[in-house]
Amino acid sequence: MTGKAEVLGRGASYKDLRHIPDHLIAEILDGDLWVSPRPIPRHSYAMTMLAMALVPPFQQGSGGPGGWQLLVEVEVHFRGDVLVPDLAGWRCDRDLQLMDRSRVTDTPDWVCEILSESTEKIDRALKMQIYAREKVGHLWFVDPRKRTLEVLKLVAGVWVPVGLFNGDALAAAQPFDAVPLALSRLWPGR
């Protein structure tokens, strides 16, 4: 393992994925088994703080509209691909039983990838293509190193940029634009 995401095997199955040690993150992307190191604390901090900001208004309806089910690092299975988005969200009006099955196979309405040096290339290439193929409606890239939030929306099968927020901006970012997000919450103190 080089410290970056890399292909461990071609033509992989879920059985292959289950044999990867716990200190690595494993995904099957276009049939290949990819492994990545666990993220550094800056990455985990941004993911935790983003979940803490979104869950009360959008999942619990506290200070916001509710109507979402949000999950952190859940395995999502798409036609042989197994992805682990940092955060994923499903609109509750879709009548899903996400908590009642061992595998999540329903396409999320939103995913967020927290970018790191080790995974940015696969997040922006393979995973982005699979999310488009599976018709995920919204994709966010959070980059804690650059202190940015990039917001994309799927339109006719193509990712269209709808916002780029920097630093400590107050971001009204689709699909969670009903309650603006203070980006300063996502960045650890210096």
pLDDT tens digits for 175-189? 999 999 999 999 998
Greater confidence (66 vs 15) lies with: 66
Task: Give the contacts of 160 (CB within 8 A, at least 6 positions apart).
Answer: 152, 153, 154
Q: Where are the domains of the chain?
A: 40-186
CATH topology classification for 40-186:
tt1808, chain A (3.90.1570)
Structure tokens at 110: 């939103």
Give the residue carrying structure tokens 């099968």.
157
Give the model confidence (pLDDT) of 9-48 as tens digits.
Answer: 678 888 888 888 888 888 899 989 988 888 789 999 999 9
Q: Report phi then psi at 67, rounded to 5.
A: 90, 10
* CA distance to 26, 36, 59, 95, per residue, from 68 (Å): 26, 29, 5, 11
